[in-house]
Amino acid sequence: MISVENLKVEFGVTPLFDDVSFVINKKDRIALVGKNGAGKSTMLKILAGLQRPTSGVVAVPREVTIGYLPQVMVLSDECTVMEEAEKAFEHIAEMQAALERMNQELADRNDYESESYHALIERFT
């Protein structure tokens, strides 16, 4: 659950948000809709931890990952657009590679009663 309490954002003396509170539960599907300049990007940056509010509390559980893709991307000439997009999923590719290594290790082993084999099974589950 992500919770926002009494969020206030000001740019100079101009308030963008004042006393905003809401909760996003685990299976909620939400949309952030508003006209240009309403603060949609600012809200997402605050939720992602990229920007701090003037005041208020944003609570995001440790196991929750919030990604933010800026409207204007800064791309390097070294990567294609696809390669840049894939960077957002590097942790998933790393997890998949680790699972494949563990699966191969299980397939290669025949010491089914050993402690190390049981430890590997525990890691897999």
The topology (CATH level 3) of 2-59 is Rossmann fold (3.40.50)
* Cα(75)–Cα(78) distance, integer angstroms: 8
| Beta bridge partner(s), residue 5 | 57
Per-residue pLDDT reduced to its tens digit, 75-84: 667 888 888 8
The tokens describing 25, both together, are 């539960």
Strands 14-24 and 2-11: antiparallel
Per-residue pLDDT reduced to its tens digit, 18-38: 999 999 999 999 999 999 989
Q: Helix, strand, or coil here: 2?
A: strand
In angstroms, the first-to-last Cα distance of the chain is 25
The tokens describing 43, both together, are 């809200």
Per-residue pLDDT reduced to its tens digit, 77-120: 788 888 888 888 999 999 999 999 988 988 888 888 889 888 88
Cβ atoms < 10 Å from Cβ of 47: 19
